[in-house]
């Protein structure tokens, strides 16, 4: 129940902040449709990050796995990077931050920063740019920049799902998926 209220609070706060920043709705029919999907993905990811106790951010299920904190830092930095690279067409390099030197609060703030960047793009991108094509780095598939927003969300969901498993492996019930 506590997580449900947290999710609602995050969604409401995000909407208020974005409305104050942009004072408009997203500019395109696609981004108007996509915004609630993105907001739910963000809120659920933040709820997952919140559900793991500070002391378990260093939890690592195997030697080759990322720690929980590394999963969250990866989500934070890659969300902005993938948005810049595929949605906006910028030349960018990955940012490498050491989760082991960061607190849970710092990691969550980094996540919110990355999410805010992508949210701002959703609000401000024009249809002409969404219609442009880009080549996905790993698959070499050619997709529209609008489609690339789904890739950003899918990447987030992939790492969030791993983090959910880490939570369960520690006997904690992860936040319910509400979409």
Decide the pairing of beta strands 133-135 and 142-144: antiparallel
Query: Which contiguous run of DSSP H or E holds residue 105?
Result: helix 104-124
Token pair in block for residue 47: 């709820």
> Residue 177's pLDDT is what?
82
> Residue 8's pLDDT is what?
46
> Residue 51's pLDDT is what?
98
pLDDT tens digits in sequence order for the chain, 179 residues long = 555 554 444 444 555 454 445 458 999 999 999 999 999 999 999 999 999 999 999 999 999 999 999 999 999 999 999 999 999 999 999 989 999 999 999 999 999 999 999 999 999 999 999 999 999 988 999 999 999 999 999 999 999 999 999 999 999 999 998 76
> Residue 6's pLDDT is what?
46
Angle at 77 between CA 155 and CA 19, to 5 degrees: 85
> Residue 14's pLDDT is what?
52
> Residue 115's pLDDT is what?
98
Query: Which contiguous run of DSSP H or E holds residue 93?
Result: none
> Residue 138's pLDDT is what?
83
The CATH superfamily assigned to 2-169 is dinb family like domain (1.20.120.450)
pTM of full prediction above 0.75: yes
Q: Is residue 128 left, alpha or beta, with left meaning phi > 0 and alpha meaning psi from -120 to 50? A: alpha
Query: What is the rounded distance in angstroms from the CA atom of residue 7 to the CA atom of residue 19?
Result: 18
Best CA proximity match to 159, nearest among 58, 96, 63, 66: 66
> Residue 143's pLDDT is what?
96
Query: Sign of torsion, CA 86 141 151 101?
Result: negative
């Amino acid at each position: 129940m506590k997580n449900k209220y947290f999710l609602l609070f995050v969604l409401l706060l995000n909407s208020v902040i974005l409305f104050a920043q942009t004072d408009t709705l997203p500019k395109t029919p696609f981004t108007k449709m996509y915004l609630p999907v993105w907001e739910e993905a963000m809120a659920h990811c933040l709820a997952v990050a919140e559900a793991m106790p500070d002391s378990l951010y260093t939890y690592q299920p195997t030697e080759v796995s990322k720690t929980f904190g590394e999963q969250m830092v990866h989500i934070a930095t890659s969300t902005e990077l993938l948005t810049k690279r595929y949605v906006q067409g910028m030349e960018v390099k990955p940012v490498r931050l050491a989760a082991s030197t960061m607190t849970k609060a710092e990691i969550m703030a980094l996540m919110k920063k990355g999410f805010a960047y992508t949210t701002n793009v959703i609000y401000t991108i024009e249809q002409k740019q969404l219609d442009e094509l880009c080549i996905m780095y790993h698959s070499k598939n050619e997709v529209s920049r609008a489609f690339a927003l789904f890739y950003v969300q899918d990447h987030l969901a992939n790492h969030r799902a791993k983090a959910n498993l880490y939570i369960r492996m520690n006997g904690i019930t992860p936040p319910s998926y509400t979409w």
